[in-house]
Amino acid sequence: MNGASSYSGLVDKAFIFILGTSVLLLIGLTAVMIYFLVRYRRSKNPNPAQIADNVTLETLWTVLPTILVLVMFYYGWAGFKVMRDIPEDAMQVTVKAQMWSWVFEYENGKQSTELIVPTGRPVSLNLTSSDVIHSFFVPAFRLKEDCVPGRTNHAWFEATRDGEFNLFCAEYCGERHSAMLSLVKSIPAREFDEWLGVDTGPPEGTRLLTLKGCVACHTIDGSKLIAPTFKGMFGSTETVVTDGVSRQITVDEEYIRKSILDPNADLVEGYQALMPPQRDLLTDEEIDAIIEVLKEL
């Protein structure tokens, strides 16, 4: 696949040089080995010769590999340096990784579950995680960087052509890791400015559940993922386990609020304690809005 970022060619150069060298050495060594096997087989050479130092050979097999690995280092370093030098005028995007979804936040506060970027402009990424280690991986850009809870990692890229590029989580992060997918959409700069400027207002309804990552585990259509569905939840009677004791509850506002802030206090029977507490992730207004959405489902 052709690279689609300003530095993807540098990464490919290092990769092709290392791969090419390895293939040539493999073929060369295998050929020499087979030749020696035949040439010095026991039936023709019953008595092995004792061979002592050969300065020319020893110098060669020290110097040549050293040059080869130094060239490998050079290509790797040249590409790495470009990837670490974030252009100062780059547009800032905060990447929020969580089990098992991505949210991208722009400087003006706009949020999106797909990374929309302008083609031909540098984009600087501030990578964060609210739970476990994830890894932001866009193969077409030759870009992979970890999202680590408790710190912000940095990376950047500049898309060189319009298109949609796969975005994966490349660090195993639990049961639905393989579903932690999204897209980078690089679009003409003018279209991007329009998109960014459009104020969609605060996210509403089920879009809120998508932006906050709830639908990575819960569904709104009644089907079962690894968490109970939201459909028909409000007002229903459920069995929950509190401190190891089962009890019946009716799902009301107060219960939902508690389930969001401190999900593991009352575990819905038959489910595991997989939900990350949302205490620091949601504002009170967002929780109120979510409760309103859940009532309607």
Using CB under 6 A as the criterion, which residues of the chain lie in contact with ligand HEC when the complex forms? Answer: 99, 212-214, 216-218, 226-228, 233, 238, 251, 256, 259-260, 263-264, 267-268, 271-275, 278, 290
Which entry of Cu ion, ligand HEC, none binds 173, CB below 5 to 8 A by partner kind? Cu ion
The angle, 0 to 180 degrees and rounded to 10, between the axes of the packed helices 253-261 and 284-296 is: 130
In the bound state with ligand HEC, the residue whose beta carbon lies nearer, of 97 and 99, is 99
CB of 271 to ligand HEC, least distance (A): 4
Q: Which residues bind Cu ion (CB under 5 A)?
A: 134, 169, 173, 180
In the bound state with ligand HEC, the residue whose beta carbon lies nearer, of 125 and 268, is 268
Burial (CB < 10 A; 0-12, 13-18, 19+), residue 120, is middle
Which entry of Cu ion, ligand HEC, none binds 251, CB below 5 to 8 A by partner kind? ligand HEC
In the bound state with Cu ion, the residue whose beta carbon lies nearer, of 125 and 173, is 173
Which entry of Cu ion, ligand HEC, none binds 290, CB below 5 to 8 A by partner kind? ligand HEC
> Which residue, 81, 75, 59, is CA-closest to 20?
75
> Which residue, 79, 166, 102, 154, is CA-closest to 123?
154
Burial (CB < 10 A; 0-12, 13-18, 19+), residue 104, is buried
In the bound state with ligand HEC, the residue whose beta carbon lies nearer, of 83 and 216, is 216
Which entry of ligand HEC, Cu ion, none binds 180, CB below 5 to 8 A by partner kind? Cu ion
Which entry of ligand HEC, Cu ion, none binds 134, CB below 5 to 8 A by partner kind? Cu ion
Q: What is the C-alpha separation between 232 and 221, in angstroms, rounded?
A: 9
Locate 272 and state its tokens: 């595991």
In the bound state with ligand HEC, the residue whose beta carbon lies nearer, of 118 and 213, is 213
